[in-house]
Amino acid sequence: MLHLRLITPAGRTDEVAALIEGTVGTAHLVVLPGAARSPAGDVVMCDVAREAADELLGGLRELGIDRSGSIAVESIDLTLSDRAERAEEEAPGEAADAVLWEELTDATHEESTLSITYLAFITLATMIAACGVVLDNAVLIVGAMAVGPEFGPLAGVSTALVRRAPRLALRSLVALLAGFALAMAVTVGFSLFMDALGLFSRAKLEAPRPNTSFVYAPDAFSFVVAVLAGAAGTLSLTSAKSGALVGVAISVTTVPAAANAAVALAYGDTAQTWGSSKQLLLNLFGIVLAGTLTLLLQKWLWSTQRARMRRPAGRP
């Protein structure tokens, strides 16, 4: 269940209450007239099953409550109520399958912010991966994959395409491209520095690397894995099962490919630079494609449930 706390203009409170009462999956409606001071208005609270929340939030935004008042949503860890149980049973579908588009948009917007922290993580991940490819160390490669934050902007692009949100798309693309550009540029300098210390060498880069050669040798499986990982990552975001994102992160070779391209560029190895760049682009495209198709499928599936989101007239 989710808990909604609304601040509504006094003149719209009855409409808001009617909307909540008419939506399947709601319970515990509370109206506090005149309780809000900033902005001034009434406070309306209710609980709603997750699978019915997107429909209710859409209706509230159509009433302009997000502009004239406030809409706050929080998860309820535990509720002991027969009415809440009935509300969850009445709501079509399962909570784990429900997509809260506003929550998804907000999450991807935050993850796509070109912040110092984001740039630091993607740069550090690429430098760790650079050590992994030179040493042919699979453990370092896996660690770099887990550290990399690039799935956020990739999910942002998919969400923007489905929701037709050009500002989110631009924000995500800028974070993605600028992040990888900076990370690779810094890694080139890092590689030269490590070479000066005698820790990196062209011989190590071009020696047989059975554990990490896949990062510059893209094949059909590279695209297949990227598509599967993109679908899994998107499902993880929309169902709030964030634990699966770690598995997604270590399934694709975006950061390792960028690292290998940067190291190869530092040594002038055009073959590995080009191969790694193709691997990187193939993975990015596969993840965005799968994420977009997954969201479109979820959107279509939930659109078929909307007719069941309204209670029949006169039903309590």
Report the range of poorest mean pLDDT among 47-56, 168-177, 188-197, 246-255.
Answer: 246-255
For residue 262, what are its two tokens?
């940067």
pLDDT score of 193 more than 90: yes
Reported as a single tens digit per residue, the pLDDT across 217-270 is 888 988 999 999 888 888 888 875 555 555 566 667 899 999 999 999 999 999
Report residue 316's pLDDT band, with 50, 70 and 90 as the boundaries.
very low
pLDDT, averaged across the chain: 88
Report residue 315's pLDDT band, with 50, 70 and 90 as the boundaries.
very low
Reported as a single tens digit per residue, the pLDDT across 27-39 is 999 999 999 998 9
Across residues 121-128, what is the average pLDDT? 96
Output the pTM of the full model. Answer: 0.82
* 287 Cβ neighbours under 8 A, 6+ residues apart: 151, 154, 226, 227, 229, 230, 233, 252, 254
Report residue 172's pLDDT band, with 50, 70 and 90 as the boundaries.
very high
Across residues 143-149, what is the average pLDDT? 89
Give the three-class secondary structure for 46.
Answer: strand
68, 123 contact by CB (below 8 A): no
Percent of the residues in the chain that have a pLDDT greater than 70, as a whole number? 91
Q: Go through the domains of the chain in sequence order and give each one's CATH number.
A: 2-98 (3.30.70.120), 103-302 (1.20.1080)
Q: Identify the DSSP state of 156.
A: H
Query: For the CA atoms of 227, 229, 235, 238, what is the dihedral angle to 10 degrees?
Result: -100
For residue 67, what are its two tokens?
């502009």
Give the three-class secondary structure for 36.
Answer: strand
Give the pLDDT of residue 313: 42
Which residue type sits at 264?
A: A
